[in-house]
Structure 1
Amino acid sequence: MVDNKLSTEMIYRDLGSTGEKVSAIGLGGWHLSIKHVDEPLAIRLVHTAIDRGITFMDNCWDYNDGVSELRMGKALRDGYRDKVFLMTKIDGRSKQEAAKQLDESLRRLQVDCIDLVQYHEVLRFEDPHRIFDEEGAHAALLDAHAAGKLRYIGFTGHKDPSVHLHMLEVADQHGFKFATAQMPLNVMDAHYRSFAKLVVPELVKRKIGILGMKSLANGILLRSKTVTPIECLHYALNLPTSVVITGIDSLEILEQAFEAVRTFEPMTDEQVQALLAKTAAAGARGEFEPFKTSSIFDGTAQHPTWLGEEPQRLQQLMSA
């Protein structure tokens, strides 16, 4: 549960229909254990972010072999846990693998309950079916919810808006409503396989919390030399996002995030179109969104064992 004392340095938004208020900027967990970030700096970044009003903490079971979760777990000691809305993700598609990964995340994060657990990298059309199978990950997370290990369930993906829409469709077939969905939302996305155009309106209609990621794509968008970091963050904040998750690997980048919030004002249609016009040529083929056009960002493609086994009934069907 998040402490009700909110900072004047931050914007707070509703998380879909959950009744939760979260910071409009979320601290990305992957950057907490990349090469040039040691543990003391990671803990300092988390503490400084929280002290200044960021409440949404992002992480994942597979980030840097679990080191990101371990560092966040250490940072959330001494009263910091109660000040944040804690999210992590799991890769498991089978019930067994999902339960195992969730328990590992709980141990690393040093908590009894995680506020939001998301199915990570829903990239393939078969992923929703594997997750919602009788022997799938969703059965594990429902058990975990009943046991008090998690509060809300969501999903993420970065490949194709049609897969997100399919995930919602399969969830509907099983009578389940997600609390959140996470996707790339940036100034290039509008021009190529656009989540903002195809998925966001559906999530708004369903009152599902919208988590934007890859607002700068780890700096890749800036290599187009068409936009500034603040413009990128303003664009993502201007969408109906509950949270814009951004990677923070230094105090300077943390300050940049707060500067984006401090200077943010809702953009007019003319301002949005002018910004998108600057990025139209660069964004037309997905060149600066390699997470859509390559498998380089697909951890589960490089490590298929993270997904777990296919359902037994399908294996029996194949061998019959």
Structure 2
Amino acid sequence: MTEADRTAEKQRDIQREVDAKTKSGGNGRAKTHAMQAGARRYPEPPMPEQHLDKPGHESDLQLKPMYDAPYYKGSGKLDGVVAIVTGGDSGIGRAVCTLFAREGADIALFYLNEHDDAEETKRAVYSEGRRCTLYPGDVTDREFCKDAVLRVVKEFGRLNALVNNAAFQIHTTKFEDLSAKQFDTTLKTNLYGYFNMAQAAAPHMSNGSAIVNCGSVTGIEGNKDLIDYSMTKGGIHAFTRSLAGHLMPRGIRVNAVAPGPVWTPLNPADKPAEEVVNFGKSAKMGRPAQPEEIAPAFVFLASPQLSSFITGEILPVIGGY
């Protein structure tokens, strides 16, 4: 037997070992589970089989999103900051409001009409010893954005941070079925809303202020069933980088967080109940994030102590590439 024959036989031996393990089911490894690397254990698929009517109320969810981050200790990273958070009534927005308050910020909470959820977020902010005022309205309305921002500045005396988070998302399984009405609503909410708020807020912000936009992994990788939503999130990433350059001379930083799947009312209000069951399963960690796992990234990008040399960046928090 030649050396080449021996090498070939060695390769076949390896192949037979792998084939045997594959047939036995499991490749010689234990069954994989979702990754749990946080301070507490987070829910894994299957998620509750539930569908919500738009815009989606967190209070209606069978499985409540985890937003309060009990193991997160504040250290004054946002002392003296007044922050506007759009879509702050639930999901990522609620977690951001809670952790911003824990770091010393007062909150102007913008939301559409989910009054019960907004009141719950307000209670969470007050429990952290900070102020919270509610501003219901539609961010696609330029006049509402201008007037509401002026009211914030009048009430709090300043404006130091804007978190653009309000969003509209609904899946479409066939491209031809994506209606002009849906397309227009998605673009108006996700792009016009961010633009309107940033344009209304920027004149009242000064050196050291920050704008943090909520992007998405769909804006990086795309999503075959969220064509319009993915397009807007990619646009938000480009908007972030462009606005960062424009506002740099004023000392205003602009960044974005791009989350992967997160358990919020947005997704049960998007897909049929039978599809919600597997939500987050395709993430590398095998589960969706909880809002409290995403919110620290917003704290990081809003705090001048933590990210003074960071602007125009997209920070993916997607559970692994």
TM-score (norm 2): 0.36
Which is helix-richer, 1 or 2? 1
TM-score (norm 1): 0.36
Larger Rg: 2
